[in-house]
Amino acid sequence: MTDNSGHYTVLARRFRPQTFDEVVGQERIGQALRNAIASDRVAHAYLFTGARGVGKTSTARIFAKALNCPQVHDAVPCNECEVCESIAAGSDVDVLEIDGASNRGIDDIRSLRANVNVKSMRSPYKVYIIDEVHMLTKEAFNALLKTLEEPPPRVKFIFCTTEPNKVPDTILSRCQRFDFGTIASDSIKGRLASIATSEGVEVADDALDLIARRAAGSMRDSQSLFDQLLAFGGEKITATDVHQLLGTASDDRLVALIDAIIERRRDIAMEQLDSSLREGVQISSFSDQLLHYLRDLLVVAVGADDVTLQSVGEAQRSGLSEQAKVWGLHTITAAMQILSETKSRMQRVNYDRALMELAVIRLSLLEDLDNIGATIELVRTGGGSDSRRVVAPARIPQSPSSPVRANPPPAETPQNDAITGSNADPEPESTHSTQPPSASHSTHDVGVIEESTHTPSVEFAEGSLDDFWAEVTSSLEDKFAGHLKVASGIAISGPNGLEISIPQGYFLSRQYCDRPESISQLESIAHELTGQKISITFRTVESESATGASSSQPKAAPRPRKRTPKLDKDEFVEQAVSIFGATVVDVREIHEETNEE
């Protein structure tokens, strides 16, 4: 449609709300403003906040019309008189709209203060609407304070902003604040259907649904997209037209891609991605769709049936439910982290397709992390298992009368981080084996305590504590044992507790040893050696007290030390000591591992 000058008027302006009831999704705010006008309790300043395109400026104009319209009835302007038409067009002499982004300096506010005392020309109220008020400078806000606190009679201020956190508290405290929420997709869809009827255009229901989801709660964004779609489409607009216009993939393609990822059919997943890009799907839009799809899987996985889906239509909810059951909540969250990191990196490089393909492959490598989480919880609670396969805690038989042993033998221990890796392949289920556990320990058996009938190899008591600790450290890998070498003392705390003291300066070693998986491995080894369930804790001690500990506190078991070379005659060392005024504190060979990483 064109205006009087022959220019086309965009939908967002042509279908702009003219009454409080027409502001979709903000009914509570409209009712509050109508009641204020009807009861003559209109404040001198208002602050309208919210996302873009949700009706802040439109509501401000309607409020100004309701105050000044000579034919207003029950706070509803007539929208036919000259006052209403000029306010709607933004040309009324008594309703001044100011752009805070371009009139943000102190001089602009000084001009406003000079004119604010001028009486309105023809209307009962003089109204100042300042859009994007958060763009004003600090000096401009300060200059506005006094006028805002004690404005002249019949002067009203309406501030609109998308970032209320940037508005000074001194301004906020002088305004009545109304927060405009995002608009529901169903409400946007209904408004677009009404516009399509007014324009005489047939639009498919799924096409309206796509536009409403894409608008993300902004009515103005939805109308701009719809306006673009009307110019792009023909007599009937379909969902295919929307996807071609926006450069997005269809719901079926998203479902097929995630199915291939879950089933680890990596060739099919890569083909789906490639065909989507060849058909005109923009990779940035496609990555957004995948991230929102994973978000929808998360919503379905936690059982939030009333939460609206963002990536696909409601008809796909049952399919998402099946996918969520197969993948599991922990795997879905890990997939979201992978894709969000990929999105962040894609914005800074020019090889975004390669990153997207890498993300698809990484998603297909994810295992059932819910099962691994159950195994970790099993280790923490001390449950038992009659097989080496990973099972849920509820299916593991426990026998309080049977002794238990830790799976890892002293000869070799697993990597500490294996249990937390998102890409580790779990061992396939098998029947119960009559063979004893293998000497080489699987990454999936970390800390899993199993039943055992063997005789303990060392006693957990004060007299044998050094021997016990030597056995424990010898059963660990070099990296873990290296961190434990800095321990200044060990002590039995309670009937089944072991306390390990680490000097304050070795905080990295303390942090490494005090991880749940590290403690779990130590407790498993201690359990195997003693036949008892021993709780291990770490504490930090002062360096001085660590070096001067009393003889009553058991020390770490002595370990063989390498012969320290004599440096009395080394001329290079003597020169270094002379130049820097230093003292030789310790001597290490260059291949010797240090205690801190």
Q: Mean pLDDT over residues 50-75, rounded? A: 92
Residue 400 DSSP class? T
**Average pLDDT of the chain, as a whole number:** 79
Lowest mean pLDDT across 173-182, 344-353, 505-514: 505-514
In this prediction, residue 5 carries a pLDDT of 52
Give the gyration radius of the chain's Cα atoms.
Answer: 36
> Can you tell me the distance from the alpha carbon of 570 to that of 341, in angstroms, rounded to the nearest whole number?
53
Q: Mean pLDDT over residues 30-36, rounded? A: 93
In this prediction, residue 356 carries a pLDDT of 94
Please list, in sequence order, all residues whose beta carbon lies within 8 angstroms of the beta carbon of residue 89, skipping any fewer than 6 positions away.
Answer: none
Q: One-letter amino acid identity for 152?
A: P
Query: Is it the case that residue 402 has pLDDT exceeding 60?
Result: no
CATH architecture for residues 372-423+444-547: 2-Layer Sandwich (3.30)
Contact present, 301 and 336 (Cβ < 8 Å): no
Q: Tell the CATH topology of 251-364.
A: Zinc Finger, Delta Prime; domain 3 (1.20.272)
In this prediction, residue 486 carries a pLDDT of 84
Domain ranges, ordered by start, for the chain: 11-180, 185-246, 251-364, 372-423+444-547
Contact present, 70 and 104 (Cβ < 8 Å): no
Q: Tell the CATH topology of 185-246.
A: Helicase, Ruva Protein; domain 3 (1.10.8)
DSSP string, 405-461: EESS-TT----TTGGG-TTPPPPPP-PPPSSPPPSSPPTT-TT-EEE--PPPSS--S
Report the predicted TM-score, pTM, of the whole model to 2 decimal places.
0.59
Q: Mean pLDDT over residues 372-390, rounded? A: 55
Q: Mean pLDDT over residues 537-552, rounded? A: 60
Query: Is it the case that residue 440 has pLDDT exceeding 60?
Result: no
Going by C-alpha positions, the residue among 373, 298, 294 that lies closest to residue 340 is 294
Residue showing tokens 């609206």: 308
DSSP string, 224-275: HHHHHHHHHS-SEE-HHHHHHHHT---HHHHHHHHHHHHTT-HHHHHHHHHH
Query: How far is residue 18 CA from its own chain's centroid?
Result: 39
Q: One-letter amino acid identity for 444?
A: H
In this prediction, residue 366 carries a pLDDT of 87
Token couple for 325: 């059951």
Token couple for 547: 């070096």
CATH architecture for residues 11-180: 3-Layer(aba) Sandwich (3.40)
pLDDT tens, residue by residue, 101-132 = 888 888 888 888 888 888 888 889 999 999 99
pLDDT tens, residue by residue, 147-201 = 888 888 889 999 999 999 999 999 999 999 999 999 998 899 999 999 999 888 8
